[in-house]
Amino acid sequence: MKKLTVVLTILATLALVQCGPGPASPTAEPTEAPVVEEEEPPTEEPTEEPEPTEVPEQVLRIAFDASDLSTLDPHFAAATQDRAIVDMVFNGLIRYKPGDISQFEPDLAQAIPEPTMEDGQQVWVFALREGVMCHPWNGNEGYELTSEDVVYSLEKAANPDRSAYAGEYTGMTFEAPDDYTVRVVLDEPLSPALLLPKVTDYAGGFVVCKQAVEDLGDEAIKTHPVGTGPFRFDSYTPMENVTLAGNEQYFRGAPNLGRVEAHYIPDISSRELGVREGEIDLAEGLREQPWIEKMEGAEGVTVDVFGPGETVVLHMNQTVEPLDDVNVRQAIAHALAREDFLAFFGEDTADPLYSPVPVEFLAGGLTMEEVEEAGVLYPTDREGAQALLDEAGAESFSLTSNTSERASYRRTYEAIQDQLKQVGITLNLEVVDHSTMHSLIREDANPLIVYIAWRPNADVFLTRFYHSDSIVVTGENPDTNFSHYDQIDGLIEQARQETDPDAQAELWKDAQMQILEDAAAYPLFILKFVFGRAEYVDFGYDLQSTLALYPQITENTQVTR
C-alpha cells in the first residue's frame, strides 16, 4: 500500500512542521518587557488580607476596531486603539475626572495651581507627588518619577519632530527648580480653561519617563511605552493584541485588574459575537441605532453610549480644483443634508452640529439660531446647490477620497457620496485601513476630508484645524488643517490671549462664522461613543463622558464574573 504510506508521510510532514519549535507564544517576543515581578498574582484590593489560596487574576479583554496599532507614543497617538492604551499606561500632571470631563483633578501633581505673573510672564507651579514609580522595562527596574521627567516630557511634546501636538506648546518653557516642582512659564497668559487641558492626561499632557525614552529611543517607544499609570506595557503581538499588566506600584493603589488585553479586531461582527459569546468583555461597537438596540436586547450584554462624542466635519481642500472656488464649496454645503445623517446614525448616538466647535459642551460654539441668522446654516437645497455649481462652471466633476474602513468614517463618506451625486458631483471612494487613512490625509491625499474628532476646547479645535501653522505637510507645525485655511489666524491668536471669558467666546464665534462663510469646512453632526460590554464589567466610576475615546479603565475597574 505504497500510496497510503506516501499520503501518511505527507500528512506527517505537515504535522511535524506545525509541532516544531514553538516560539509561537506571544510572550516570547523581544518586544515584551521582561518583568521583574513576584510569583503570586496581584492581590485584588490593597486592603485585602492575603488569602491562603491563589486568587484568580482578573483579566479584561477589549476589542478595538483596528487591524493594528499605529503608535503608542502618547505624543503621537491619535486613533482610538492607540489613545486607549496610552490612557492606561500614562498619567498627566492633572487629569479629567474619570467619567466626567467637566472636572479636573490632580494626577501627578498634588493640586491644581493658580497661575501667577512674574516679570510679565505667566507662571504655573506644579508640586509633584512623591513616590510615583515609572514602570520597569528591559532590564531596568523602574525608578521614581521626578520633575526632570515631567520637563523632559513637556519639552518632547513641544518639539514638532517628536510630537504631533507641538503646536499647543508654543511660547512655553518648562523648568524644574527641584525634584518635585515643575514650573510652566508662558510668554502670553492663558486662562485655566485653555492651559489646563495641555497638561492633562490627554495628548501632549501625558508624561513619559525620560530614562526609558532615552534608553529605548523614539522609534522603540512606539511599540513599547513606559509610563506611570495603573497598567504597564507587557507585550505586543503585531496585528493581534497588546497586553498590559497591572502596576502594583501605582500611586493610587494596585489595580483590581491583573491584566488588560487590547485586541485588534477590525470586523464588527467578530467583535459583537465575541462579546455575546463571552470571549471579549468590552468591544467597540457600531455607532448606529439598530446596533444599539440589537445589543441591548441581547442576554448578558449591555451598551454604553457616552459623550462628549466626536464632531464629524467635512473639510474641503481649497488648493484642489474646483474646490478653490468658494461657490463650489458652498454648493457642497447646501447639497448635504444634516437630517439624513441624523436619521442614519440614530437619535441615541447623533446630534446636529452647526459649528466646528460644538455648542453643547464648549464655550464658543454656535447655535442653530445664530448660524441661521448669519446665513451660514446652509440648509439642504439641492437645486440651489446645482445653480451655484453651474454658475461656477463646475456642473459636474469627480473627486477621489480615501476613507477608513471603520464604520463611522465609511458610512459618513458613503452617505456624502450619495448626496453629492444628486448635484452632479461624483465622489469616488477608496476604502483603506484606518491608520492608513490617517497617514494619507496627513500627507494631503484627499480633496474632501471627513474628520471625526474631539478636542478639549475651542482654542484647540480652531488652532489645529484652521490655523495656517497647522496646514498639513507645509505648515509650521503640520497638524490637521486639511482645508489649507489661513483666514482666521489673527482671530484665533487674539481669542487665545483674551482674558475675559465672554469676550473670548465672542471672538471664537466670529472666527467660526468666518470659517462657515468661507465654507472651509461644513460641520455635520456629533457622534457619541458606543461600546458593547458584558454585564459583569464594572468600570468603577460613573461613565458620562471621557476624552479617551473609550471607557476609561482605571485601577478601580473590575470584572466580576
Partner 1 sequence: MWVTFKRNRTALVGVVLAVVVILLAILAPWISPHDPLKQNVYHRLKGPEPGHPLGVDDFGRDVLSRVLWGARTSLVVGSASVLVGLMVGTLLGIVAGFKGGRLEYVIMRAVDVLLSFPTLIMGLMVMAILGSGMTKLILAIGIVMSPRFARVAHGPTLSIREKEFVMAARATGADDLWILRHHILPNILGELLVMASLWMATAIRIEANLSFIGLGVSPPTPTWGNMIRDGVKWLTNAPYLSTFPGLAILITVMAFNMVGDGLRDVADPKLQV
Partner 2 sequence: MLRAGEKAMIAYILRRMLVSVPILLVVLTLVFLLVRIAPGDPAVAALGDYASQEAVERMRQRMGLNKPLWMQYVDFLGQLARGDLGRSLINDVPVSQQIRRVLPYTLELTGSGIFVGLLFGIPLGIVTALRRNTLLDYAGRIFGLAGLSVPAFYLGILLMLLFAVELDLFPVVGGGELSDLRDNLHHLFLPALSLGLIMTAYITRMARSAMLEVLNADYMRTARAKGLQERVVLIRHGLRTALIPVVSVVGVYSIVLIGSSVMTEVVFSRPGVGKLMVGAMKQRDYTTLQSIMVIYASFVVIINLITDIAYGLIDPRIRYE
Give contact residues for partner 1 (rule: CB under 8 A).
267-269, 272-273, 276, 286, 288, 290, 294, 340-341, 343-344, 405, 407, 410-411, 414-415, 417-418, 421, 428-431
Q: Which stretch binds partner 2 (CB under 8 A): 37-45, 234-242, 326-334, 462-470?
A: 234-242
Find cell 454645503 and name the residue: 333
Q: If contact means CB under 5 to 8 A according to the sort of partner, which of partner 1, partner 2, none does residue 268 touch?
A: partner 1
By CB under 8 A, is residue 447 in contact with partner 2?
Answer: yes
Q: What stretch of H or E contains 494?
A: helix 489-497
Q: Which of residues 386-405 bind partner 2 (CB under 8 A)?
A: 400, 402, 405
Coil vs helix vs strand at 97 = strand
Residue 482 to residue 402: CA distance in whole angstroms: 13
Closer CB to partner 2, 275 or 377, in the complex: 275
Residue 235 contact, options partner 1, partner 2, none, Cβ 5-8 Å cut-off depending on partner type: none
Chosen from partner 1, partner 2, none, partner binding at 265 (C-beta under 5 to 8 Å by type): partner 2
Look at residue 290 and give the partner it binds from partner 1, partner 2, none, a contact being a CB closer than 5 to 8 Å depending on partner kind.
partner 1
Our finding on whether 347 is near partner 2 (CB under 8 A) is no
Range 94-132 burial, b when 16+ CB lie within 10 A, else e: bbbebbebeebebbbbeebbebeeeeeebbbbbebbeeb
DSSP class per residue in 425-479:
EEEEEEEE-HHHHHHHHHTT--SEEEEEE--SSHHHHHHHHHSGGGBTTTSSS--
Beta-ladder partners of 207: 91
Residue among 59, 127, 320, 429 that touches partner 2 (CB under 8 A): 320
**φ, ψ for residue 426, nearest 5 deg:** -95, 120
Q: Which of 474, 497, 501, 503 binds partner 2 (CB under 8 A)?
A: 474
Phi-psi region of 516 (alpha: psi -120 to 50; beta: other; left: phi over 0): alpha
The item of partner 1, partner 2, none sharing an interface with residue 444, based on CB under 5 to 8 Å by kind, is partner 2
Q: Residue 130, CB half-sphere, CA atoms under 13 Å: how many?
A: 3
C-alpha cell at 519: 465654507
Closest approach of partner 2 to the CB of residue 22, in Å: 6
| Residue 536 CA: distances (Å) to CA of 55, 220, 281, 420 | 18, 36, 8, 45
Choosing from 108, 195, 208, 280, the residue that interacts with partner 2 (CB under 8 A) is 280
What is the C-alpha to C-alpha distance for residues 204 and 456, in angstroms, rounded to an integer?
A: 12
| CA-only gyration radius of the chain, Å | 25
- Residue 445 binds which of partner 2, partner 1, none (CB < 5-8 A, kind-dependent): partner 2
Contact status: 65 vs partner 2 (CB under 8 A)? no
Task: Name the DSSP class of 498.
Answer: -
Residue 415: name its binding partner from partner 1, partner 2, none (Cβ under 5 to 8 Å by kind). partner 1
Per-residue string for binding with partner 2, 410-439, x by CB under 8 A?
Answer: ----------------------xx-xx--x
The smaller minimum CB distance to partner 1, of residues 329 and 338, is found at 338
**Which one of residues 205, 227, 274, 475 is an interface residue with partner 2 (CB under 8 A)?**
274
CB of 302 to partner 1, least distance (A): 16
Shortest gap between Cβ of 298 and partner 2 (angstroms)? 11
**Beta-carbon count within 10 A of 456 CB:** 23
Q: How far is the CB of 160 from partner 2 (least distance, A)?
A: 15
Give the strand pairing for 231-237 and 181-186: unpaired
* Minimum distance from residue 420 beta carbon to partner 1 (Å): 12
Q: Which does 414 bind (CB under 5 to 8 A by kind): partner 2, partner 1, none?
A: partner 1
d(CA 268, CA 287): 11
In whole angstroms, give the CA distance from residue 464 to residue 165. 9
> CA–CA separation, 163 vs 416, rounded Å?
32
Cβ neighbours of residue 541 closer than 8 Å, sequence gap 6 or more = 98, 99, 552, 554, 556
x/- site string to partner 2, residues 531 to 560, per CB under 8 A?
------------------------------
**Contact indicator for 50, 42 with CB cutoff of 8 Å:** no
Does residue 369 sit in helix, strand or coil? helix
Residue 528 contact among partner 2, partner 1, none, beta carbon within 5 to 8 Å by kind: none
Of the CA atoms within 13 Å of residue 509, those in its CB half-sphere come to 18
Report DSSP letters for 215-272, one per residue: HH-TTGGGSS---SSSEEEEEEETTTEEEEEE-TT-TT---S-SEEEEEE---HHHHH
- Using CB under 8 A as the binding rule, whether residue 73 contacts partner 2 is answered as no
Least Å from the CB of residue 544 to partner 2: 30
Among 149, 310, 444, 555, binds partner 2 (CB under 8 A): 444
Choices 107-115, 261-269, 406-414, 450-458 (CB under 8 A): range interacting with partner 2: 261-269
The answer to whether residue 25 forms part of the interface with partner 2 (CB under 8 A) is: yes
Give strand pairing partners of 397: 425
* Pick 141 or 430: Cβ nearer partner 2: 430
Cell 513576584 appears where?
Answer: 38
Contacts to partner 2 by CB under 8 A: 1-4, 6-7, 9-11, 13-15, 17-18, 20, 22-26, 29-31, 63, 67-70, 219, 222-223, 237-240, 263, 265, 267, 270-271, 273-274, 277, 279-280, 317, 320, 400, 402, 405, 432-433, 435-436, 439-440, 443-447, 473-474
